[in-house]
Amino acid sequence: MNNTLVVSQFLSFTLLAWIAYKDLKNRIIPNKVSLLLLLVVVVTVPFQIQYLLLAFVTLVVGIVLFHYRILGAGDSKLLGILAYAAQENVGWFFVVTGLIGGAVSLLLLLCNQLNARQAIIIRPVNSVPYAIAISLGAFFTVPYLKL
């Protein structure tokens, strides 16, 4: 394994963990961190026009979903970046991300129900920190992130 790949893996893991944490804590994905991740992906992943177009379509769909308040703007950008990074695994990336996102949503729903019944005391959750699911989906499907 070459040093460049190790550095790319470390930076990507760190940036994705930070993005997931910030989304969980503040429901915000910082643009600067997304830009750093984009730079790591561009340097690490070989250029292929079909995956660039797919990433662009993903971003456009994300913007439409943001307009209808279904998906956050940061989530849309993160999906576009990681759709390109996943390359030939992009289909699995979307499937795994969706499954993990569903599990996170059910967990938050359960927490809200337990909170309503005063079984636990937490602040009610009104939105899903989807960057957690997107980051985990990337860990399982992006080729250069596999150890």
DSSP 47: P
Over residues 7-26, the pLDDT tens digits come to 999 999 999 999 999 999 99
Dihedral sign (CA 12, 140, 107, 126): positive
The pTM for the full model equals: 0.92
What is the spatial distance between Cα 78 and Cα 129, in angstroms, rounded to a whole number?
12
Domain that holds residue 120: 3-145
Over residues 116-146, the pLDDT tens digits come to 888 888 787 788 999 999 999 999 999 999 8
What is the spatial distance between Cα 62 and Cα 137, in angstroms, rounded to a whole number?
17
What is the spatial distance between Cα 15 and Cα 97, in angstroms, rounded to a whole number?
17
- Checking if the pLDDT of 65 tops 80, the result is yes
pLDDT score for 3: 87
Domains identified in the chain, total number: 1
Tokens 């849309």, residue located: 76
pLDDT score for 118: 85
